[in-house]
């Protein structure tokens, strides 16, 4: 564009630390949330979440929680089976906290395979 300077956004793709990738899969239970991942952060560590992904061919919602607080949600459906969420700045969970990824298929849908992935780095607090 003439007269304008464009600056790229700085999105961290890597965080220094130990790989802490988590994954889980199950069969969805329409109308109720199915827990796919549950991870308790070790004392003295920080779990730096970079992204979350869930895949299901039914309409539903992926939720990522730290303890009982929802920190992100994303939807799936037959035309778009992947639910993605990427943090621009890593979302942190500290020692003793529980990170959970769940999926809730809408009531009335058929049970379906669902899988989830959580990308993170584990660092010393």
Q: Quick: pLDDT tens for 30-63.
A: 999 999 999 999 999 999 998 899 999 899 999 9
* pLDDT exceeds 70 at position 12: no
For the segment 59-88, the average pLDDT, to the nearest whole number, is 91
Residue 7 pLDDT grade (very low, low, confident, very high; cuts 50, 70, 90): very low
- In tens, the pLDDT along 82-116 reads 888 888 888 999 999 999 999 999 998 899 999 99
Give the phi and the psi of residue 94 in degrees, each rounded to 5. Answer: -105, 170
Per-domain residue ranges for the chain? 34-79
Q: 23-62 burial, b for 16+ CB within 10 Å, e for fewer?
A: ebbbebebeebbebbebebeeebbbbbbbbbbbbbbbbbb
Residue 26 · residue 72 · CB < 8 Å = no
């Amino acid at each position: 564009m003439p007269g304008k300077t464009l600056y790229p956004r700085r999105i961290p793709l890597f965080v220094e630390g130990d790989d802490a990738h988590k994954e889980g899969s199950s069969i969805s239970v329409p109308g109720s949330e199915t827990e796919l991942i549950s991870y308790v952060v070790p004392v003295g560590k920080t779990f730096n979440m970079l992204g979350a992904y869930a895949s299901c061919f039914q309409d539903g919602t992926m939720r990522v929680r730290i303890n009982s607080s929802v920190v992100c949600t994303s939807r799936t459906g037959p035309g778009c089976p992947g639910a993605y969420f990427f943090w621009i700045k890593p979302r942190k969970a500290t020692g003793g906290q529980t990170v959970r990824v769940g999926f809730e298929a809408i009531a009335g849908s058929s049970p379906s395979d669902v899988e989830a992935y959580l990308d993170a780095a584990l660092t010393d607090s």
